[in-house]
Amino acid sequence: MCLVKHVTHSQTKSTVGNAQWNVGLNGTVNLNQFNFSGLVTGGEINGFIARVLNDNFSLQAELGVKQLGGNRRDAAQEFEGGNVDQILYFNRRAVINSFNSNLILNIHPRTELGSVSMTLFFGVSHALKVEVSEVQDQFYFFNDGSSIYVSEVRQNTSRFYENSIFSGLMGLSVAVPFGKKTMDFQMRYEQGINQLNRVKFSIPQYAGKLRTNSLKIGLSYQLFNF
């Protein structure tokens, strides 16, 4: 993430004195999963503003949109009466679309890498659910012995998920000069804190505890400072 204007040691004092705020954009590709195996890709785009506290620390706020999610476990649902005996649900994956806000503390260790600089960061994140869509394959078994396979069934399952997702995050970014600005290459890890699933036992294929985690790789660009 482009957190401050990255400079060499000899420039640090004068830069901090001249520029106290940094504004920019960042974006990542997310490798998302719940608290079991199965990755679902997503993305995140944020605008940020960072306040330079001193030579070593800055505080950053971000607002944007992001996608979370992961694979859901295979499940079977039994029926009594009617023509359907059983439905199998498999190849299930859920995508959570959300509005996102992050609060991050950036640590800028002094390095001897010329014009390249490094930032470590730790923070908290809140995502407000907009929509959850699940794609799955289904196998219907009928009482007469016949069966039907249906692929890529898409459902809106928003009602089964909590509205708020709280997470802790940490990561590393490396900044390189890009014209008169800086471009940052960043890696983040985000771990969900709260349990998301509203369903307990009434709907077996949707029951089970869910927490998100994501590995994020992306870029950040400083637009201006003041």
Written in H, E and C, the secondary structure of the chain is CCCCCCCCHHHHHHHHHHCCEEEEEEEEEEEEECCCCCCEEEEEEEEEEEEECCCCEEEEEEEEEEEEEEEECCEEEECCCCCEEEEEEEEEEEEEEEEEEEEEEEECCCCCCCCCEEEEEEEEEEEEEEEEEEEEEEEEEECCCCEEEEEEEEEECHHHECCEEEEEEEEEEEEEEECCEEEEEEEEEEEECCCCECCCCCCHHHCCCCCCEEEEEEEEEEEEEC
Q: pLDDT, tens digit, for every residue of 113-150?
A: 777 889 999 999 999 999 999 999 999 999 999 999 99
Mean pLDDT, all residues of the chain: 88
pLDDT of amino acid 46? 98
| Between 79 and 112, residue with greater pLDDT | 79
Q: pLDDT, tens digit, for every residue of 175-213?
A: 988 777 788 999 999 999 999 999 876 666 677 889 999
Q: Domains, the chain, ranges and CATH?
A: 9-70+96-132+163-204+212-225 (2.40.160.20)
Percent of the chain at pLDDT exceeding 70: 89
pLDDT of amino acid 204? 64
pTM for the whole thing? Answer: 0.85
Q: Phi and psi at residue 17, in whole multiples of 5°? A: -70, -30
Cβ contact 138:88 at 8 Å: yes
Q: What is the CA radius of gyration of the chain?
A: 22
| CA triple 139-212-210, angle to 5 deg | 55
Report the half-sphere exposure of 46 (CA within 13 A, side-chain side). 31
* pLDDT band, very low/low/confident/very high, at 66 (cuts 50, 70, 90): very high
pLDDT of amino acid 7? 37
**Strand pairing of 57-72 and 75-78?**
unpaired
